[in-house]
């Protein structure tokens, strides 16, 4: 009987992460999944027999080194890493504190880098492996009120492109997943900038962006399972692509980033987000 392949999936308590755990568990992979809360860990252990659920705060560097590092050592390595965990803070750049920016970089960029670094020695030793980074359409184009989130996702994409070139000769492939709007708790869990004021100079723009996001959800967002299916493709394709888009908005962001002049793109975004 063949030894099952091993997948490490972060941010597995809900949404894209949970759907990805379900997809790979059903496909016979040995799944290592990270969550923050004990109740989520208990739920996943009951739902996915045989999966190893790791309780860890991914912004705690020492805890990640200990918990994830020990799990990889005990498993004898890993075939796939899916860096999915993330969060977002909405607000104008002027009203975002440096702590807000640090929080975005910490979970959306640095956590992914640390987990990747923990996995790479095992992949190098095997001469094979896949790193899949869950980015966003906002990793290619930036929208107002999302400067911190976009900064982290743009950086994740730059890191991943450089990494892909470094590890390709070692038999390791890197792919970036760029979803558009996805029907998850992610948007509902978004918090405001520390300095946001309901009567502040950016309040009208903030309300316009909130309305625009609500409209995009009403127009048929992708499902978490759609993203999980693309992640599975990136993990199993013979020659995986560097980038995969998911949904109409993910594709639109990719095309706009590639083919639309900066001035036209900024004009269109300004029209789209203006407060009437």
Handedness of CA 100, 109, 245, 264 (dihedral sign): positive
Q: How far is CA 43 from CA 16, 106, 133, 262, in A?
A: 16, 26, 25, 46
| CA 111 centroid distance within chain | 11
- Angle subtended by helix axes 262-273 and 203-218, to nearest 10: 90
Active-site residue among 135, 147, 175, 222? 135
Active-site residue among 13, 122, 136, 153? 153
37 is catalytic: no
153 is catalytic: yes
How far is residue 226's CA from residue 246's CA, in Å, rounded to a whole number?
7
Count of C-beta atoms within a 10 Å radius of residue 224: 23
Count Cα atoms within 13 angstroms, Cβ side, for 228: 24
Q: Enter the tokens of residue 124.
A: 């190098």
135 is catalytic: yes
Active-site residue among 149, 196, 202, 244? 149
How far is residue 110's CA from residue 232's CA, in Å, rounded to a whole number?
24
Question: Active-site residue numbers?
Answer: 135, 149, 153
């Amino acid at each position: 009987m063949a030894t099952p392949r091993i997948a490490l999936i972060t941010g597995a308590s809900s949404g894209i992460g949970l759907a990805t755990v379900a997809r790979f568990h059903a496909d016979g992979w040995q799944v290592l999944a990270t969550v923050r809360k004990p109740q989520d860990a208990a739920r996943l252990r009951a739902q996915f027999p045989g999966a190893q659920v790791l309780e860890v705060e991914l912004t705690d560097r020492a805890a990640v080194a200990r918990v994830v590092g020990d799990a990889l050592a005990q498993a004898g390595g890993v075939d796939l890493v899916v860096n999915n965990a993330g969060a977002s803070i909405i607000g104008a750049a002027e009203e975002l504190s440096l702590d807000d920016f640090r929080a975005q970089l910490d979970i959306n960029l640095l956590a992914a880098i640390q987990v990747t670094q923990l996995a790479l020695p095992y992949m190098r030793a095997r001469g094979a492996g896949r790193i899949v980074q869950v980015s966003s359409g906002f990793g290619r184009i930036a929208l107002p009120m999302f400067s911190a989130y976009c900064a982290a996702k743009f950086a994740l994409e730059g890191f991943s492109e450089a990494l892909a070139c470094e590890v390709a000769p070692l038999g390791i492939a890197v792919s970036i997943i760029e979803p558009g709007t996805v029907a998850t708790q992610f948007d509902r869990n978004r918090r405001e900038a520390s300095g946001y004021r309901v009567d502040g100079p950016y309040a009208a723009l903030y309300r316009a962006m909130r309305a625009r996001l609500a409209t995009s959800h009403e127009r048929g967002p992708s499902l978490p399972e759609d993203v999980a299916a693309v992640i599975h493709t990136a993990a199993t394709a013979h020659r995986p692509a560097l980038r995969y888009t998911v949904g109409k908005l993910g594709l639109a962001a990719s095309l706009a980033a590639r083919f639309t002049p900066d001035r036209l793109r900024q004009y269109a975004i300004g029209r789209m987000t203006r407060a009437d």
